[in-house]
Chain A
Amino acid sequence: MDILVCVKQVPDTAEIKIDPVTNTLIRAGVPSIVNPFDKNALEAAVQLKEAHGGSVTVISMGPDQAKAALKECLSVGADKAVLISDRLFGGSDTLATSYILATAIKKLGKFDLVLCGKQAIDGDTGQVGPEIAEHLGIAQLTFIAKIEVSGEKITVQREHDEGYEVIEAKLPVVCTVIKSINEPRYANIKSKMAANKAVIEVITAADLPEIDLTKIGLKGSPTKVKKTFTPPRKESGIRIQEGTGRESALKFIEKLVVAKLLNRGC
């Protein structure tokens, strides 16, 4: 199966410092890394390739320095890496970004599966993956913790707070993956050296003649950021799951008593 993985180069947030005066992030000098969830997406792709054969292509939209991220992907199992880069793409919001990525994906060929991370650790919107699916006109499976493929059929585990859903779909689809799907491998010294020497293909706006220039860049981006803030954390509840229903009920009563919501006497 032929798989395409979208990766974003992001600043290493573990290294980011806050400017004490302006209270904003100091991005200068911060090393860039491959978005961690995208590493999981790539690892999932490489494992599927190892099991079913085929190829893994990675793409990234970004400036020239994003080639470093793509080389890292080559060193851990990607067969081909393409940078999508043009001044005209600068200033794109998620809608424009996903439109450009989808247009590039169509140009690169037919893929059975497109994998993205669940979100980028800097932008954090989690919108690009689902939007790519819409632009490509194919199904989307989000927050995926497990992927199995047999023939034309993909079966996934979709995680959410309450547990997971098992979903089946017909290929091709877009999947966005979460961290628990796998543990990304380390590069091999040999593959690392080969990747360092690799020449990365670049796709520019001129290579995508069918692209609608009104839908890209700052002008093609409808998003207006009014305010950014951290929403309050949701309080998590308590789950009581003892050996038997009776034990669970007793434990529940016990908790109510401790919380003084119930008197033991009654």
Chain B
Amino acid sequence: MGNILTAEQKELVEMVRNFAIKEVKPHVKELDESGEFPMELLKPAFEMGLHCLEIPEEYGGAGLDYQTTAAVFEELAKVDAGYAISLVTTFVALRSVIMAGNEAQKKLFADMIIPGAFASFCLTEPNSGSDASSMRASAVKDGDEYIINATKCFVTNGGVADVFVVFASTDKSKGVKGISAFIVERSRPGIVVGKHENKMGLRLSNTTDVAFVDVRVPADHLLGKEGTGFTTAMNTLNVSRAFVGTLAVGICQAAIDEAVKYAIERIQFKKPIGQFQAVQMILADMEIQTEAARQLVHHAMILMDDNKPVVKEGSITKAFCGDTVVKVTTDAVQIFGGYGVSKEYPVEKLMRDSKVFQIFEGTNQIQRIVIAKEMLK
């Protein structure tokens, strides 16, 4: 993304790169193996303010534009996408509040996050994944409170978040139009964190079930009006999809960097393997696809900074980046030959990290449905 950034943006990106390489990278291999949440490594990220990049300045955040934020997160993802997603997910929750919340709610949320905390976005349920509108979660009004009952799964940051944005139905008879969104602080009684998923990739990120059992929240924790929750969720995901693309591009770049290095070092038939055209073609395709993915991300960010809708562009970006990262990391493993599948070498991890990018934030099948719907409408 070098050429499309201003000098000031480049400086921020470089600062984050230096930090990630010096402070995070040395621990990634061990944490990938243990699947442990790197809380200690995330504390310096809080000190740098990486958790409040997108929080508007009037609420005490850095108020960065989407383009710069994306460039910063590509750098973090180059070092570890799971580390990056812990921070990115906080913004997913934040965006729901920024889009649908009132002043008091934005302030409430920002005040919890700014000192250094995580947030979660709780949409998916065991029986409601792609078909998010079929959720069973309920929120019943009781005086000036709501009582929430929900079992959410695959909640990124579930075990570490101080605050959740929870989607639940306030009127089952209305279907999608009955879904509402709530801010729920971790401190409220009745929140039970379930098991942490032992995942194939993104192992530095925390993914858990979270059950809400008769959790009472004040009525002013409802985001927007009753029944607007599903729209809030979809609007949030529209913006978040391009960000997921950013992380995928970061992983692609890491795979390319490793593959190029190896192609220069590895000698077979008395030549560095990078001298064989068959290997060069693979490398060139990795570069073409990654650069195309990066430009899609950048274009979506420009549109978003301009407050333009990105329903189709977000889905195009997410689907393309998700497919690309799986392809590019698989190719990197190919270039490493047998060493590619060895845990002693860095690329098998990238391949493991890549797969989920075709799945979360809406599977790539669902993205294609969204794209086609936009085309045919």
Q: Which residues does A use to contact B, with CB under 8 Å?
A: 185-190, 192-193, 196
Contacts and interface: CB of A to CB of B under 8 A. Distances in A.
Contacts of A188: 47-49
Contacts of A186: 15, 19, 44, 47-48
A186 B20 CA distance: 11
Nearest to A187: B15
A130 B156 CA distance: 55
B8 A190 contact: no
Nearest to A31: B14
Interface string B36-55: 00000000100111100100
Contacts of A189: 12, 15, 48-50, 53, 62, 64, 72
A190 B53 CA distance: 8
Interface size class of B (residues with CB under 8 A): 10 to 19
Give 10 nearest A-B pairs by CB, closest first. A189-B49, A188-B49, A189-B62, A190-B62, A186-B48, A190-B49, A196-B8, A186-B19, A188-B48, A187-B15
Nearest to B55: A190
13 contacts: A186-B15, A186-B48, A187-B15, A188-B47, A189-B15, A189-B48, A189-B49, A189-B64, A190-B62, A192-B15, A193-B8, A193-B12, A196-B11
Taking each of A187, A188, A189, A192, which has the highest tally of chain B beta carbons within 10 Å of its own beta carbon? A189
A189 B76 CA distance: 14
A241 B153 CA distance: 57
Contacts of B47: 185-186, 188
A3 to B, nearest CB: 21
Interface string B64-94: 1000000010000000000000000000000
Contacts of B61: 190
Contacts of A193: 8, 12, 62
Nearest to A75: B15
Contacts of B72: 189
A173 B61 CA distance: 39
Nearest to B72: A189
Given A185-B47, A188-B48, A189-B49, 5 more contacts: A186-B48, A187-B15, A188-B47, A189-B50, A196-B8
A193 B68 CA distance: 12
A192 B64 contact: no
A215 B113 CA distance: 55
Interface string B123-134: 000000000000
Contacts of A196: 8, 11
A187 B48 contact: yes
Contacts of B49: 188-190
A185 B18 CA distance: 13
A17 to B, nearest CB: 19
